[in-house]
Structure 1
Amino acid sequence: MSAESHAFDLLPVVSLLGAGVIAVAVFRRLGLGSVLGYFAAGLLIGPYGFGLFTDPQSILHVAELGVVMFLFVIGLEMQPSRLWNLRTQIFGLGLAQVGSCGAILTAAGVLAGLPWMVAFIAAMGFVLSSTASVMQLLDERGETASTRGQKAVSILLLEDLAIVPLLALVAILAPATGEAHGSSLLAIAIGLGAIAVVLVTGRYLLNPLFRILAASGAREVMTAAALLVVLGTALLMQMSGLSMAMGAFLAGVLLSESSFRHQLEADIEPFRGLLLGLFFLSVGMALDLSVVASDWRAIAIAVAGYMALKAAGIYVVARLFRDSHGTGLHRATLMAQGGEFAFVLYSAAAAVGLIDGKDNAFFSAVVILSMSLTPLALIALRYILPSSTPSLDGVDVADDLHGTVLIIGFGRFGQVASQSLLARGIDITIIDSDVEMIRSAAEFGFKVYYGDGTRLDVLHASGAPHARAILVCVDDPKTADRIVELVRGECPLTRLLVRAYDREHALRLAAAGVNHFIRETFESALRFGEMALRVLDVPEDEAAAVAADIRRRDSERFELESTGGFGAGRDLLLGNAPRPTPLTTPTRTAKPLSPETAAVTAGDGAGERSH
């Protein structure tokens, strides 16, 4: 009897899981997305639904770890150099959007009759978009890595940073004690010190730590260490008064160039997904329907007005920063809602007496409803704007494939490369992200699956870990580099063959440890030159010998350049340097070329382009 009285109550856990699983499945089936499904499930089982949970705030505090882990995963994708390249978008576009939207919403609140201080707090809370909602919606649509997705991420980072001065401002505006100004300055100093600690620790301690743990061979220890890094950094930031999510993001950025990056991402992913779903559930539970029922007209006007004004401000800023009409509308719709940081700001303002409890509940309800309406607004936008993404009707998505060879990219290069493998009866799997090309290939009997090779989950679904060889045939060097990075991190023993865009790209691939690569125009241009010599009545063996000599010179020069000997490579190209041992022994010996002839025929420099 005693054992039964102390048994763990599984009903809340089963309720959360059951509501989330069923609601998300139904809502995604209806095309409404998982975020809205989680909100609806939370509302259904919360204190204003079936009442299975009476304290949603306690769940929300735990579920915020989902946002923390989400930002850590985003940080893993943001190398410091990439983050530095986004500085203009973060502090230019981000500041412009936050400042302009804050001014517009504050003015609207004052015109609606609110005291200026209350209007300012309400506006700035609503300006901080929901990082969790926006990132989840971008992820579901595969837009996180796109240009418009990267700009949205930049703005979200600035908004995460903005919560720090806003909380300090709340302390300054509080009904004053003489210590308010000094305490806010101290809070800022503590926050900066915490950031410095994270940067130093991440720079000098994390990589050695993970190397030691990896040597132990215990997978569960690596998982525990990954959680320790995320939660420890979040705790440090929370104790210093900063955003937990920002701390996790910084930790991710510092580990983004680590050789353990993909392992960390794989370890965190299950926790991230589960806790992020729990976060959306708890936000749905937190919607106080009694407040909505008692003042529904004012709340409806506030939700519609704030979302419309914020969307207008976002659109104007986007156009001023030379974004297209479609991109501006997309960002305005995606980020028109308030976010989780509004709850923090409103609670802090209520605690020091800047707003009362009724205002806190009212503004929190406005934010939650705006978060719930965003997925619906994005669906409506699809009917307003012409679709930029072709329908996948009739196209199979890569899922649980197991080919001997995986080909990524099936343009003109991949089509030719595949023919030799097919001629020998080798089992190949082909993926591409161009839907129209997939349909065209099907008309000629090729089975091509839809999949983005720059995503780790797609590579797994396409059978990359089981393939004997992976052929990267995409025509964009940055995309090829990203795929190479993922494959080298996840499948280090798989043979990797890559289409190089030009010499500069080939040098990067050599440095990345790619097994085999070929510049897409070099061999065809060499054959073309050999044909030109024959047309000019040069004997066939001499034309072939000239081509062989050029191929050998290029191989030797590439070897020198790949090891840093650019000057020696140029001398070799011009015939002014002793020749090292060739990488491949030429079958013929050509007559020596004049420096002028060699300079014209031997290279395909970084400016090479194919059409």
Structure 2
Amino acid sequence: MAVHGGLSLVREFAPLLGAGLISVLAFRRMGLGATLGYLVAGAVVGPQVLGLVGDAESKLTFAELGITLLLFLVGLELSPQRLWRLKHDIFGFGLLQVVLCGLAVTGLVLLGAGFTLAAAIALGLPLALSSTAQVLPMLQSAGRLRTPFGERAFSVLLLQDLSLVPLITIIAALSRNPADAAGPPGWVLALNTVLAIAGLILAGRFILRPLFRLIGNLGEREMFVFAGLFTVIAAAAIMEALGLSTALGAFIAGVMLADSPYRHELEADVEPFRSILLGLFFLAVGMMLDLNAVAARPGFVIGMALALVAVKAGVIFLIGLAFRMNWRPALAMGLLLSQGGEFGFVLFAQAQNAYLIAPEAASLFGAIVTLSMATTPFLMMLTKRFRTEPAAGDGAALQPPRHDGASAIVVGYGRFGQTVAQMLIAQGLSVTLIDRDPQVIETGGKFGMKVYYGDGTRPDLLRLAGAQDAELILFCLDGDQITKEMLEMVANAYPKAAVMTRVFDRRTLIALKDAPLAGAVREVLESAVVMARQALRAVGVDDGEIERSEGEYRRVDAKRLGIQLEAGDIYAARDVMFSQARQKRQRQDEPGVREQP
């Protein structure tokens, strides 16, 4: 029986994964995104069409781990300090979006579908949530997740995920199921949420970090994978046991490890599982698409899906304008978040168990969510022309880059980028300059420099600048804006160019370990070395000793950095770095060395 069951599982997953692979390759080639490819593949091989794979519910339950892993990885990207910086967007923009879209869509369902008020609330509020699993990969692939626009979109999605708990509470309060009356009241769920988050924070500090430090000292990479998956699933299991959002538990666990030196190792280990399970989730959603329900009422499904997209896009657009966004990014935000989300399926099941809606209604609105998700790639493609800043804004200075045959592209024309660009120009190289700060562009124009407007971390914008023919692509941006994923996309898209970057500090350099870089420079290293040379000269040290000190420092720093890169730990090789105690021991061993102040 076990062998038979195993063979049955293999026979089901082979066509499911094969169809997903073919469909995603085709849809990506058409520029429509992987999510739509997975949905279509699931519908084709599922019970509604070819019938090659069945039992979508069990596969969906398993694949929901993909969403949990996604939220864990998102949490790893967010330190508590960054979360605090985004608090206005999370609890301002995000909260308004959930409330206003929830009320608007509830009214749409109430008036357009003829449901009771309780049923309309149970259907309308979940439809206010967008698809985190669809939107975040779209932002990542476009290189916009860490931009102001991407952070604002992420803040809205995060608030939506946090709102899953109160929405479950609302549905439970409206329940007509006698069994739900014995469940915990809403205030108990809220208290459990606070206590669970506090518990996860303490566990992260006093259990998880020492655990990963122990594994790191042992050098067992396989145990990192095991411990990473355990962290995600344990946090999710604790939340589920308390009747709370599993994704929220995984997210908090990720945030608690965001500042740890093991973040990048965890991210690399968990990412493959996230990708596979997230793809399986959308395949299962496609399988669950009730084509018979759609065929019975096609006008209703299509009309309601289009109305949902239009209402949400309109409300989010207006909220964006109220938050002083330019109309173009506000429109982009509205369209990007206009679809229904994966948590809608979870909440529809809750409403069905609460006797608020019939199973047919759950299937029908599941089809509406799926269809709305399918519209997003098309909408983003069709409206790109309107959402993109014009070639000239208030003046001729704000122009997007164009292909002018440059052999080098310099992204970021601040103090660092100016020096790099002028040295390249002095050597006779043709340079294209890109910056997204209008003031920098205007100032560059006063000095006779042509600086183009745009986000130079986007591969599509680099293509406009002629990156496919460039010999050099140099990222001279300040702060911590460069990611390994972005560099890999650029290097893969433009293999002829040598890619180099300015990095904020040693931590950033460790984060970019194994990135496809021809060179990376810590932004203050060389200027600090120059100042140290001047300081030594000021206290009477001769030039020969200064040269020796600089050479020794560079040798030790390179050795220490190599050890840190190997370990992925900023605290590695602390005994190698220069310190007062080390110098004192060295002087005792070499009495001829001059005492330094």
Give the TM-score of the pair, scaled to structure 2: 0.73
Give the Cα–Cα distance (whole angstroms) in 2 for the partners of residues 4 and 364 of structure 1. 33
For residue 379 of structure 2, what is the aligned residue in structure 1? 377
Q: Deviations over 1:164-188 (max 9, x none)?
A: 0111111112238695685333333
2:436 is aligned with 1:414: no
Give the Cα–Cα distance (whole angstroms) in 1 for the partners of residues 177 and 22 of structure 2. 50
Q: Deviations over 1:451-471 (max 9, x none)?
A: 89822135467899xxxxx99
SS of 2:328 mapped into structure 1: helix
Residue 8 of structure 1, CA deviation = 6.2
- 1:487 corresponds, among 509, 521, 526, to 509
Fraction of identical pairs, as percent = 34
- 1:237 corresponds, among 202, 218, 239, to 239
Residue 256 of structure 1, CA deviation = 0.6
8 A contact 2:403–2:464 mirrored in 1: no
SS of 2:527 mapped into structure 1: strand
For residue 62 of structure 1, what is the aligned residue in structure 2? 62
Residue 42 of structure 1, CA deviation = 0.9
Give the Cα–Cα distance (whole angstroms) in 2 for the partners of residues 151 and 498 of structure 1. 30
Residue 190 of structure 1, CA deviation = 2.6
For residue 447 of structure 1, what is the aligned residue in structure 2? 471
Q: Aligned ranges for residues 89-168 of structure 1 at < 5 Å?
A: 89-112=89-112, 113-168=114-169
Q: Deviations over 1:379-413 (max 9, x none)?
A: 111143346896998999x9xxxxxxxx9979443
Q: Deviations over 1:357-379 (max 9, x none)?
A: 22222222211111111111111
Q: Deviations over 1:64-92 (max 9, x none)?
A: 11111111111111111001111111001
Q: Aligned ranges for residues 430-469 of structure 1 at < 5 Å?
A: 433=457, 447-449=471-473, 454-459=482-487
**Residues 450 and 107 from structure 1, CA distance in 2 versus in 1: closer, same or farther, beyond 3 angstroms?**
farther
8 A contact 2:305–2:372 mirrored in 1: yes
How many residue pairs match? The answer is: 498
8 A contact 1:472–1:499 mirrored in 2: no
**Residues 128 and 461 from structure 1, CA distance in 2 versus in 1: closer, same or farther, beyond 3 angstroms?**
closer
- 2:322 corresponds, among 320, 324, 339, to 320
8 A contact 1:171–1:180 mirrored in 2: no
8 A contact 2:73–2:267 mirrored in 1: yes
**Residues 224 and 586 from structure 1, CA distance in 2 versus in 1: closer, same or farther, beyond 3 angstroms?**
closer
Residue 262 of structure 1, CA deviation = 0.8
Residue 191 of structure 1, CA deviation = 2.8
**Residues 290 and 439 from structure 1, CA distance in 2 versus in 1: closer, same or farther, beyond 3 angstroms?**
closer
Q: Deviations over 1:202-240 (max 9, x none)?
A: 122111100101111111111111111111111111222
Give the Cα–Cα distance (whole angstroms) in 1 for the partners of residues 103 and 9 of structure 2. 49
More displaced, 113-122 or 73-82? 113-122
For residue 295 of structure 1, what is the aligned residue in structure 2? 297
For residue 175 of structure 1, what is the aligned residue in structure 2? 176
For residue 192 of structure 1, what is the aligned residue in structure 2? 194
Give the Cα–Cα distance (whole angstroms) in 2 for the partners of residues 261 and 234 of structure 1. 19
Give the Cα–Cα distance (whole angstroms) in 2 for the partners of residues 290 and 437 of structure 1. 46
Q: Deviations over 1:537-569 (max 9, x none)?
A: xxxxxxxxxxxxxx6797479xxxxxxxxxxxx
Give the Cα–Cα distance (whole angstroms) in 2 for the partners of residues 264 and 96 of structure 1. 34
**Residues 556 and 377 from structure 1, CA distance in 2 versus in 1: closer, same or farther, beyond 3 angstroms?**
farther
8 A contact 1:90–1:158 mirrored in 2: yes
The one-letter code of the counterpart of 1:87 is K
SS of 1:518 mapped into structure 2: helix
For residue 546 of structure 1, what is the aligned residue in structure 2? none
**Residues 5 and 460 from structure 1, CA distance in 2 versus in 1: closer, same or farther, beyond 3 angstroms?**
closer
The one-letter code of the counterpart of 1:367 is V
For residue 213 of structure 2, what is the aligned residue in structure 1? 211
For residue 582 of structure 2, what is the aligned residue in structure 1? none
The one-letter code of the counterpart of 2:171 is V
Give the Cα–Cα distance (whole angstroms) in 2 for the partners of residues 302 and 580 of structure 1. 81
- Structure 1, unmatched stretches of 5+, are 399-406, 424-431, 465-469, 475-479, 501-505, 507-515, 524-550, 558-577, 588-611
8 A contact 1:127–1:310 mirrored in 2: yes
The one-letter code of the counterpart of 1:487 is L
8 A contact 2:39–2:286 mirrored in 1: yes
For residue 521 of structure 2, what is the aligned residue in structure 1? 498
SS of 1:498 mapped into structure 2: strand
Q: Aligned ranges for residues 577-592 of structure 1 at < 5 Å?
A: none
For residue 536 of structure 1, what is the aligned residue in structure 2? none
Q: Deviations over 1:268-324 (max 9, x none)?
A: 111111111111111111110011011111112211112111111111111001111
- Structure 2, unmatched stretches of 5+, are 392-399, 430-455, 493-497, 548-597
8 A contact 1:63–1:276 mirrored in 2: yes
SS of 1:205 mapped into structure 2: helix
**Residues 292 and 394 from structure 1, CA distance in 2 versus in 1: closer, same or farther, beyond 3 angstroms?**
farther
8 A contact 2:501–2:519 mirrored in 1: no
Residue 144 of structure 1, CA deviation = 1.0
For residue 309 of structure 1, what is the aligned residue in structure 2? 311
Residue 495 of structure 1, CA deviation = 12
Residue 140 of structure 1, CA deviation = 1.9
8 A contact 1:409–1:473 mirrored in 2: no
| Bigger Rg, which one | 1
8 A contact 1:308–1:336 mirrored in 2: yes
SS of 2:185 mapped into structure 1: helix
8 A contact 1:310–1:336 mirrored in 2: yes
8 A contact 2:402–2:465 mirrored in 1: no
8 A contact 2:473–2:500 mirrored in 1: no
Q: Aligned ranges for residues 270-285 of structure 1 at < 5 Å?
A: 270-285=272-287
**Residues 422 and 106 from structure 1, CA distance in 2 versus in 1: closer, same or farther, beyond 3 angstroms?**
same
Residue 29 of structure 1, CA deviation = 0.9
Q: Aligned ranges for residues 243-282 of structure 1 at < 5 Å?
A: 243-282=245-284
For residue 82 of structure 1, what is the aligned residue in structure 2? 82
8 A contact 2:317–2:333 mirrored in 1: yes
Q: Aligned ranges for residues 1-40 of structure 1 at < 5 Å?
A: 7=7, 9-40=9-40
8 A contact 2:335–2:376 mirrored in 1: yes
8 A contact 1:126–1:367 mirrored in 2: yes
Give the Cα–Cα distance (whole angstroms) in 1 for the partners of residues 46 and 405 of structure 2. 40
8 A contact 1:307–1:336 mirrored in 2: yes
**Residues 100 and 555 from structure 1, CA distance in 2 versus in 1: closer, same or farther, beyond 3 angstroms?**
farther
8 A contact 1:409–1:472 mirrored in 2: no
More displaced, 347-356 or 125-134? 347-356
The one-letter code of the counterpart of 1:360 is A
Give the Cα–Cα distance (whole angstroms) in 2 for the partners of residues 198 and 344 of structure 1. 24
8 A contact 1:237–1:244 mirrored in 2: yes
Give the Cα–Cα distance (whole angstroms) in 2 for the partners of residues 412 and 66 of structure 1. 44
Residue 149 of structure 1, CA deviation = 0.8
The one-letter code of the counterpart of 2:278 is L
Residue 491 of structure 1, CA deviation = 3.5
SS of 1:52 mapped into structure 2: coil
**Residues 491 and 136 from structure 1, CA distance in 2 versus in 1: closer, same or farther, beyond 3 angstroms?**
closer
Residue 3 of structure 1, CA deviation = 6.7
Q: Aligned ranges for residues 384-423 of structure 1 at < 5 Å?
A: 384-386=386-388, 411-415=417-421
8 A contact 1:69–1:248 mirrored in 2: yes
SS of 1:338 mapped into structure 2: coil
Q: Deviations over 1:128-165 (max 9, x none)?
A: 11110111211222211111111111111111111101
Give the Cα–Cα distance (whole angstroms) in 1 for the partners of residues 108 and 206 of structure 2. 49
2:78 is aligned with 1:50: no
8 A contact 2:27–2:37 mirrored in 1: yes
8 A contact 1:210–1:260 mirrored in 2: yes
